[in-house]
Amino acid sequence: MRAPVCVTVLVWLLSDARQFTEEEMSAVRQRIKSMFYHAYNSYLDNAFPYDELRPLTCDGQDTWGSFSLTLIDALDTLLVLGNQTEFQRVASLLQDTVDFDIDVNASVFETNIRVVGGLLSAHLLSGRAGMQLEPGWPCSGPLLRMADDAARKLLPAFQTPTGMPYGTVNLLKGVSPTETPVTCTAGVGTFILEFATLSRLTGDPTFENAARQALRALWKTRSDIGLVGNHIDILSKKWVAQDAGIGAGVDSYFEYLVKGAILLQDEELLNMFLEYDRAIQNYTRFDDWYLWVQMHKGTVSMPVFQSLEAFWPGLQSLLGNLDSAVRTFQNYYSVWRQFGGLPEFYSIPQGYTVDKREGYPLRPELIESAMYLFRATGDHTYLQLGLDALESIEKITRTPCGYASVKDLRDHQLDNRMESFFLAETIKYLYLLFDPAHFLHGGAAEGDGSWEEGGEDRQCVLGAGGFIFNTEAHPLDPAALYCCSRHAQDRQELRDILLSLPKEKKKTRSKPAAKHTEDPPHGPSVSIALKPGEKKTPPLLSCPVQPFSARLSILGQVFTDNT
């Protein structure tokens, strides 16, 4: 039976949407920068080196692992806002002060998306930030080594019979013998972006293999109607919580199947998501809301909207499902207009908050979807939504020492916490919403430093667009992964082909050329043309597709401009 919907949906008059001028958008960007620096400087002045700022008492607290989490999470936001000087200072500071070899129990999920993701993103943006780069960057560098170090501390959690990871790991001692085997679905399926990036930059497949094994193990546990639950026992593979939906505990699993497919050009991941999406649309969607249902029967178990679900319209836009994305976004934004924020849980039948779930911890998901939908449609309505969000946050949550989570949206009572994702995600997505020409959108003009050179012999084109944001809004450059993995693989294939040349052919070469079988010199001294009557020898491997470096292929023999 379809659940009744009692919420008055915001009337969507696209034709009447206010049109923002560039001057107005620039003014909003300045307001967003001011918001960031009020929060960021308050953290530095009152909370560093703790993980988070407590904005009501103007002090700090450790929450996720005691490694200055807010500073790591906010590092790439500094560059997004154009502050190269502070980016350089903080990147150097983190290298000198952060140590992951500590006796601390850390969330595997949170450490991955915030710390590993933040360090990888900062590493990939180091060139644009004007930092001194190691030879071969982005395939090497100090921030990459820090990300590698942090990720290796998480690997013991994956050493299970199923390959699905525990939820918590001690960074010094590994997994405790008393650690619970029950973890949320997202805690199993939210690693492929960071771990594959790390593997392809460093050449160590351990991380990507671990993430893929976890994904494939989780895929095999779906129900007969194609759904997954909320919490699973990673040892027995039995579902402990059997509520299926797109919100808390599940959300980023679906997000990473889509974004992983795009980042890695991976058909397996895309097919996984598409099969899930068919079941989601069939069993959980009601009037462009997404409810929670029993994973085996498809019957409604919780007719609620959770604030974490607000990422879904943005994800739909990546797949081109714009009509559905726009309608769902309308529903979600109507809730924001009702309260000045999104409550953690919202009862769809009652049209009101759920008891003990009335808070808004400055989450970014609705703003994130607005950014994607504005990029997809160009509709300035989404800019108005962003401006409304900016003014709500300023009016309701600003304190003398930063911005505070809202404990209760009904009376706007505040809580003494500013999570690191406020600087990493909420402000970043707000800024990018109002900056359509930003380099992360691929919007910079040619000649304006819109791309960089990198890799071995600086043959790779980096930063030209197509960035993929992890679930903590840390941008990853697909070109860097290609540069460090595929380019090295292609060069090895080239060497194999050259080494496989027939001996008779090698004898026809001059003596200087014969000394350089693996790296023949430039110029016409080496001919690869067939002699009269000579038969063509097929190569062992076909010429690989190389969009980032020139390749010539003549009669099956492959060479490059530096061989």
Question: Looking at the annotation, which residues are catalytic?
Answer: 110, 251, 344, 365
CB 368 within 8 A of CB 429: yes
Q: Which residues of 256-290 are buried (b: 16+ CB within 10 A; e: fewer)?
A: bbbbbbbbbebeebbebbeebbebbeebbebebbb
d(C-alpha 197, C-alpha 213), whole Å = 16
User: Crossing angle of helices 22-46/69-80, nearest 10°?
Assistant: 160
CB 396 within 8 A of CB 388: no
Structure tokens at 169: 């790991």
The dihedral built from the CA positions of residue 69, 70, 76 and 79, taken in this order, carries a sign that is negative
Residues in the chain: 563
What residues pair up with 169 in beta bridges, in sequence order?
106
The CA-based angle 118-123-127, given to 5 degrees, is: 135
Q: Which residues are annotated as a binding site for Ca(2+)?
A: 471
d(C-alpha 456, C-alpha 137), whole Å = 8
Question: For residue 201, which amino acid is it?
Answer: L
Distances (CA, A) of 291 to 2, 4, 283, 285, 357: 10, 12, 9, 6, 16
d(C-alpha 282, C-alpha 447), whole Å = 48
- Is residue 522 classed as helix, strand or coil in its secondary structure? coil
